[in-house]
Structures are given as structure tokens and as C-alpha cells.
Amino acid sequence: MKDLWKAPALGLVAAVCAAAVIFLGETAPTAIKAVLAASVSLVAVSGVALSFLKKAATSAEEVADTARQEKGRIERDFQKVKATSEELKKRVMEVSTLMASLKSIARAIGQSLEYKKILSFVMDIAHRNIGAKKCSLWVVDAASREIRVEEAYGWTDADKASARAEWGKGVIGYVLDKKIPYDCESSKRDPAMMSVTRDSLIPSVICAPLIVGGEVVGILNIEEFSDAKKSGIQDEVGLANFLAGLVAMSIKNSRLFEQAQDKANTDGLTRLFTHRYFQEQLDQEIRRSERYGDCFSLILTDIDHFKKFNDTYGHQIGDLVLRETAGCFKSAGLHKDVTLARYGGEEFIVILPHTNKDEAFKVAEHLRKSVESRAYDTDSGKLKVNISLGVSTFPDDAQQKSVLIEMADHALYRAKKGGRNQVQLAIPEDRQQSS
């Protein structure tokens, strides 16, 4: 634009030169007139040309500015599209990873009936795919309604030791009682939830109930996210509820399996374990004791004169005695690791892990006295029975399963031969009879 003056200036100079030539070749008056006319014409033409050029330059500058602005807008739009594309690409990858994880959970539920493994897997999914920094899975005991932490992510040992939740109190108790999910965003629009949130012992961002057949069996609780989640958490709420449904299904399948397994492993009359289950547990106990260099003991017992008792009072009374004797064993306050089983007929057998012979003798005496002190109300009046017991210990008495059982059986035989209603320990002479 700064060079636009050059065109008319050069034109003016050219006109003056032309006029001078004409002036030299013609008479003065005519030459002067020609020069003036040419100069005026040239100046006019130059002015028009200058004005036109200015307008053209201004228009060109405006077009250039518009072009630059459009270019800038296009570049900004491109960056936005690029960012959106990258975000979509990232989201697609997240969704793909999530779908693979959900398929793995579904496959695990179909293949495994050990729901604790599935709970641990779900905690990992909640962390990686929902972005939970701290989360926990709570399970409700069907009998006592006690709420306990079964699995947790991002918790310290102190967190687990101090974790408490009460039915109907706080967010976890509210969700259990109402059977509805909770999230911190929706709760802000509900004034009634303010007191529930305030009274919570455990913080909750998302709390999803695990519902099986209309019954709440647990809670999936997310206490904290890895980031601020500024864009909202509704996607995470939906995913948490979906995971809760999968866990609930897993618990349902596991409980059905446990019920079936319990039925198969439990004697129908005495509600003690079956002979088959005892054999399996004895194999496991031998392997465990061999691995850790530990000991354990067996107590084999039967009811004294049971055949005579059964013949005298009938099979119904006999069954009652069997049930009541088993009840004495179960109510004797034995350690939870102890296996109580019906060995066959009126015989019972007990596995005592981590128990040497002297300790096993004390347990056997305790069982004998418990049965001896028990009286049964029947149509024939109050009846009482006694038991005899034989004790063998691994590995002192035997290291083979069959021999260990035979050693206890020989000790039981000596208890009966010695007058019944007593405890006898396996001795080396019993080993000779077993060989």
C-alpha cells in the first residue's frame, strides 16, 4: 500500500516530458495549451487511478484479514476435532478394556463357585475401570445380619480392623435398608439424604446394593476416586450398579453350591459330616501336617451297648440318642477347625488339628463327660447313655491314614474291654496288631 503513489507520479513525469517534447516542436501558444491539457488529464486520470488502487488495496487487506481469521478459526476447529478424536479414541480403548474385564467377570462367575476370588477380581475392576482409589465390598450374614468387609482396595490394615457399619445407619446402612443405590451427586438434590450422609461411619461416593431374589446380601461401596471427576460420575454409577449385579449373582451361585455341597457332606440324621467327607479332610490334614511338621489327633468313639439299647427301646429312640449324642459333640465348645463326622452306625470320629496326644485326651474326656451328663426325655422316661473313646496321634502313632484309624480303633476296643465309658490312648502294642 505504501508504493501506490509511484504509479501516478511516474505518469505525471511522463506527461511533463511529453509536453516538453511537444513544446519544443510546436509554436508556444499551442504547445502550452497541449501541455496543460495533457497535464490536467493525466493528473485527473492519476487521481482516479490512485483512488481505485487505494480501494483495491483496502479490499485486498480486508480479504487477507478475513482469510487469516478464517484460517485461525479452521485451525482452532481442527484442534478441537483432534482433541475430541483423541478423547473418543481414549474412551473407545477404555470401553474395550472394560468390556474385556466384564467378559472375564462373567466367565469367572460361570466357571468358579468360589465367590471370594470373584470379589477380589471385582475390586481390581473397580479400581482400573471405574477409577476408584478406595472401595470395599461388604457382605451380610444371612443369620445374624452382621455386616462385614469381605474385600477392599486402597484400605490399610487399620481401616479393615476399625471398619463398622450398622443396619439403617449412615449411607451403607441406608442402602441396605432401602435396597436402593446411592451416589453423592444425586443426594445433593435430596435434603433428606443430608443427615444420612452426615451420620456415615464410612464415606461413600457411590454405594450399590447386591440384591439376590429381593434380598440385599451385600454392598459395593466406593469411597474415593483417583481424580476429581469434574464432569460427573453418572457413568461410574451405572457401571458400579452393573458390577454389583454381577457380584450378587456370584454370591447367589456360591450359596447354592454351598447348600448342595453341605447337603452332600452332611449326615441326614445327626447333621454331622459324612464318612466320605471325613476321609477327604483326613487326607488334607495329613498333607498339611507333613508339610509343616505339625501333629494332629483322631478320636474314634461309639455309644456303649447301643444295639441292646436300640432293641429295647426301638429305632425311633435309637435315632433320638444318635441325634442327641451328636448334639453333645457340637455343643462341647470345640475349636472351629475340628471336624466332627458320623463314621458309621453308632460310631463317631473327630479330627483335632494341631493337637498332641495329651491335649486330645483332655478333649476326649470332655466329650465323654458331656454325653454322660446328658439325659433324654422319652416316652419311656429319662434315658442316659455312655460312650467309649480311642485316641491316636499323627505322626507319633502312625503316618499312614489307614494305620492311624486302626490305632484309634484298637484304643477304642481296649476302652470297651476295660469296662466302657472311658478314654484309651493308642500304644505301641496297637501298632503290632495293625501290622
119, 94: one domain: no
pLDDT reported for residue 24? 53
pTM value surpassing 0.75? no
The CATH code of the domain that includes 333 is 3.30.70.270
Categorize the per-residue pLDDT at 84 as very low, low, confident or very high, splitting at 50, 70 and 90: confident
Domain hosting residue 377, numbered range: 266-434
CB 340 within 8 A of CB 299: no
pLDDT reported for residue 247? 83
62, 89: one domain: yes
77, 89: one domain: yes
CB atoms within 10 A of CB 155: 17
Catalytic residue of the set 346, 347, 365, 372: 346
The proportion of the chain whose per-residue pLDDT surpasses 90, expressed as a percent, equals 35
- Using the 3D structure, point to which of 218, 237, 260 is the last residue of a domain: 260
The proportion of the chain whose per-residue pLDDT surpasses 70, expressed as a percent, equals 79
309, 391: one domain: yes
pLDDT reported for residue 97? 63
139, 255: one domain: yes
With a cut of 80, say whether residue 194 has pLDDT above it. Answer: no
Q: How large is the angle between the packed helices 28-111 and 115-128, nearest 10 degrees?
A: 170
94, 178: one domain: no
193, 336: one domain: no
pLDDT reported for residue 106? 63
Higher pLDDT, residue 228 or 143: 143
326, 347: one domain: yes
346 given a catalytic annotation: yes
- Using the 3D structure, point to which of 209, 242, 260 is the last residue of a domain: 260
Grid cell for residue 175: 442402602
Categorize the per-residue pLDDT at 420 as very low, low, confident or very high, splitting at 50, 70 and 90: very high
Categorize the per-residue pLDDT at 207 as very low, low, confident or very high, splitting at 50, 70 and 90: very high
Average pLDDT over residues 263-284: 93
Higher pLDDT, residue 239 or 10: 239
CB atoms within 10 A of CB 333: 7
Say how many domains are in the chain: 3
13, 66: one domain: yes
251, 138: one domain: yes
Average pLDDT over residues 342-364: 96
248, 367: one domain: no
- Using the 3D structure, point to which of 79, 96, 111 is the last residue of a domain: 111
pLDDT reported for residue 434? 55
pLDDT reported for residue 49? 61
Output the 3-class SS for the chain: CCCCCHHHHHHHHHHHHHHHHHHHHCCHHHHHHHHHHHHHHHHHHHHHHHHHHHHHHHHHHHHHHHHHHHHHHHHHHHHHHHHHHHHHHHHHHHHHHHHHHHHHHHHHHHHCCCHHHHHHHHHHHHHHCCCEEEEEEEEECCCCCCEEEEEEECCCHHHHHHCCCCCCCHHHHHHHHHCCCEEHHHHCCCCCHHHHHHCCCCCCCEEEEEEECCEEEEEEEEEEECCCCCCCCHHHHHHHHHHHHHHHHHHHHHHHHHHHHHHHHECCCCCCECHHHHHHHHHHHHHHHHHHCCCEEEEEEEECCHHHHHHHHCHHHHHHHHHHHHHHHHCCCCCCCCEEEEEECCEEEEEEECCCHHHHHHHHHHHHHHHHCCCEEECCEEECCCEEEEEEEECCCCCCHHHHHHHHHHHHHHHHHCCCCCEEECCHHHHHHHC
Categorize the per-residue pLDDT at 161 as very low, low, confident or very high, splitting at 50, 70 and 90: confident
3, 135: one domain: no
Categorize the per-residue pLDDT at 30 as very low, low, confident or very high, splitting at 50, 70 and 90: low
pLDDT reported for residue 395? 95
pLDDT in tens, 211-221: 988 888 889 99
The CATH code of the domain that includes 141 is 3.30.450.40
Among residues 387, 373, 374, 378, the alpha carbon closest in space to that of 416 is found at: 387
pLDDT reported for residue 195? 76
Categorize the per-residue pLDDT at 21 as very low, low, confident or very high, splitting at 50, 70 and 90: low
